[in-house]
Homo-oligomer: A and B are copies of this chain.
Amino acid sequence: MQDGQDMRDRQRAALARRYGGAAVPSAGPWSGVIDGLLAHRTVRGYKPDALPAGTLETLIAAAQSAATSSNLQTWSVVAVTDAAKKTTFAKLAGGQKHIEQCPLFLAFLADLSRLGRLSDAEGRNLEALPYLETFLVAAIDAALAAQNAVVAAESIGLSTVYIGAMRNDPGAVARELTLPQGAVCVFGLCVGYAMPTHVGEVKPRLSQAMVLHREAYQAGDEAAGRRSYDRLLEDFSRRNEMSAYTWTERVMSRVGRVAAINGRDKLKEQLRRLGFPLR
């Protein structure tokens, strides 16, 4: 925890950036860690520089330090540095060049196969494994772990971008990583040193009024909030992405048509084939 004018100035500036200067929330206690979290930017361009020895192990120790449901630890990670593999993943993800560029690509797995092997070794059936609930536990635990890795990475000067497109064709990803039944890559994470040309502004988010509810859910005046956010994001994209899309337009282009989710409408069948009955 920190006090004083300097802290309050940083705090106000960080919040203004995160909410695009609009509807900036008041804030209480603050820390250098929170400064770091609020300054997060997704980066889609990496220098070829290798990571210092031990970086991977540090990131994974941070990831494993996140909470995990009942300590089941139903996630794993495959660290990919091989150029050919990264090229394959870049293609599977619809041509995302940053997967090829980054020195370290982490494939985060929802992994029930380890408990499956324990079950085999002990000769005991684990009745709850085939349920949607248990897959969800694994996916959520993978996400908690990955976010800790992201926070750790940014704290040592690295940048990241999550790759949800690893779910475009989970079967192909599983073959490439020789995953056993009961393991699936739920997302990837590029890790590396940002190309300075690819570090934009902090992207503004929806106002807290739209996301944070008190005691019960109340949608409130969402129309006004959305119009205001549409303008913020239009300006942001004009300054950072040489486009000018509002949030509403982005949402439409992303979830308006099934074709836009790039095969992920088949996720259920793919998961079943990979050993998740999703009962």
Contact = CB atoms under 8 A, between A and B. Distances in A.
A60 interface: yes
A140 B179 contact: no
Nearest to A38: B65
Interface in A33-82: 33-34, 36-40, 42, 51-58, 60-62, 64-73, 75-82
A13 interface: no
A176 to B, nearest CB: 8
Interface in A233-279: 233, 247-248, 250-252, 254-258, 260-261, 264-265, 267-268, 271, 278-279
Interface in A14-34: 14-15, 18-19, 25-34
Nearest to A136: B139
Number of copies: 2
Contacts of A214: 78-79
A121 B223 CA distance: 8
B133 A250 contact: no
B40 A65 contact: yes
A61 B211 CA distance: 10
Interface in A160-177: 160-162, 164, 167, 176-177
B137 A140 contact: no
A122 B248 contact: yes
Given A139-B140, A148-B147, A54 B38 contact: no
Nearest to A152: B34
Interface of A: 1, 14-15, 18-19, 25-34, 36-40, 42, 51-58, 60-62, 64-73, 75-82, 85, 109, 113-115, 117-118, 121-122, 124-129, 131-134, 136-137, 139-140, 143-144, 146-148, 150-152, 155-157, 160-162, 164, 167, 176-180, 183, 186-187, 202-203, 205-206, 208, 210-219, 222-223, 226, 233, 247-248, 250-252, 254-258, 260-261, 264-265, 267-268, 271, 278-279
